[in-house]
Amino acid sequence: MLTAIRYEPGTLYLLDQRVLPAEERWLALATASEVAEAIRCMVVRGAPAIAIAAGYGLALAARRGSDLDEAARTLVAARPTAVNLRWGVDRVRQARDIEAAARDLHDDDLRVNLALGEHGATLLDGGVLTICNTGALATGGHGTALGMVRSAIAHGRDIHLYACETRPWFQGARLTAWECAQDRIRCTLVADGAAASVLASGRARAVVVGCDRVARNGDTANKLGTLNLAVIARHFGVPLYVAMPWSSYDPATATGRDIIVEERDPAELGGYQHGPVDAWNPAFDVTPAELVSAWVTETGVVRVLGEG
């Protein structure tokens, strides 16, 4: 199975997602602050994957006899939006055996994704539109939204994935397309601006996305562009499914307005260097709960009342 995270006592190996698919480069990390920096600069990304990497970051700190609370603070501060990061760090920090807890977090994530995929598989058939990368690269394996696609295919569903390229980091064009090629999942890459046309033309009959934090009321933070998909999905009467491991649900956050949306360096925006203009580069957006047809979890499918 495709994996982007490997741990050996004292060393964390991460597949550098900044250079995929051109290069399959593994980085070897030895300290929690190196792991925090790898999370910040997107060597590893995707909410479950950054939690797993951070768990191993704590394991590295424990081996070196470093201050675990300080390591935990540094890791949690690496990216603000995905609640999985804090959840994973807290879970490992509280354990008596830090290294075993980090490994458990990793193993559990794969189990969660396989269960989530089973619950979601029956919802998908035919064309499916997605954004970002929510597959094995973004998790401990299998994936969440892409895991639903994998499970649906395993159940014999005739799935054709439409992957938004996902600017400015191109997680769709570089990572989802790469994973689909590896697993022979039928995938057509589209420019982000083509999403409405994919639905208008009937090419896709469902939208499936991941999430970084779901507030108590169901408002859902995910990769920038998800809100666009939610609005057009509602317009065209197409369901929007959010693949949500319970580790992404944050009852402590009341609504989407309370979610901190990461703003990244404007220099990441292509073209920014071509003129002296201002630029705004939020990495995520928040989709109101009423635009979500269902949240697919490892324990079952949660629907909005009245959605049937």
The site for ligand MRU (CB under 6 A) is made up of: 45-48, 82, 132, 134, 138-139, 144, 171, 210-212, 222-223, 283
* Candidate list 108, 109, 212, 219, residue with the active-site label: 212
Task: Quote the tokens at residue 203.
Answer: 């090419």
User: In this structure, are residues 99 and 181 in contact, taking their beta carbons and an 8 Å threshold?
Assistant: no
Nearer to ligand MRU, 144 or 293 (CB): 144
Nearer to ligand MRU, 98 or 211 (CB): 211
Cα separations (Å) of 46 from 69, 145, 236?
24, 12, 28
Nearer to ligand MRU, 93 or 142 (CB): 142
Within 10 Å of residue 4's Cβ, how many Cβ atoms?
Answer: 27
Cα separation, 13 vs 243, in Å, equals 27
Name the maximum alpha-carbon separation found in the chain.
Answer: 58
**Closest approach of ligand MRU to the CB of residue 139, in Å:** 5
**Closest approach of ligand MRU to the CB of residue 104, in Å:** 19
Question: Could you tell me how far CA 47 lies from the centroid of its own chain?
Answer: 5
**Closest approach of ligand MRU to the CB of residue 292, in Å:** 14
Nearer to ligand MRU, 60 or 78 (CB): 78
User: In this structure, are residues 283 and 81 in contact, taking their beta carbons and an 8 Å threshold?
Assistant: yes
The helix (run of H) or strand (run of E) holding residue 13 is strand 11-15
Question: Could you tell me how far CA 115 lies from the centroid of its own chain?
Answer: 17
Question: Could you tell me how far CA 4 lies from the centroid of its own chain?
Answer: 13
Nearer to ligand MRU, 127 or 135 (CB): 135
Nearer to ligand MRU, 44 or 92 (CB): 44
What are the backbone dihedrals phi and psi of residue 247, each rounded to the nearest 5 degrees, phi first? -65, -10
**Closest approach of ligand MRU to the CB of residue 273, in Å:** 21
Give DSSP secondary structure letters for 71-111: HHHHHHTT-SS-HHHHHHHHHHHTSSSHHHHHHHHHHHHHH
Alpha helices in 122-253 (DSSP H): 145-154, 177-183, 195-200, 226-236
**Closest approach of ligand MRU to the CB of residue 50, in Å:** 7
Nearest residue to ligand MRU by CB is 210
**Closest approach of ligand MRU to the CB of residue 175, in Å:** 8
**Partners of residue 14 on adjacent β-strands:** 5, 27
Is 90 in the active site? no
Q: Which residues are catalytic?
A: 212
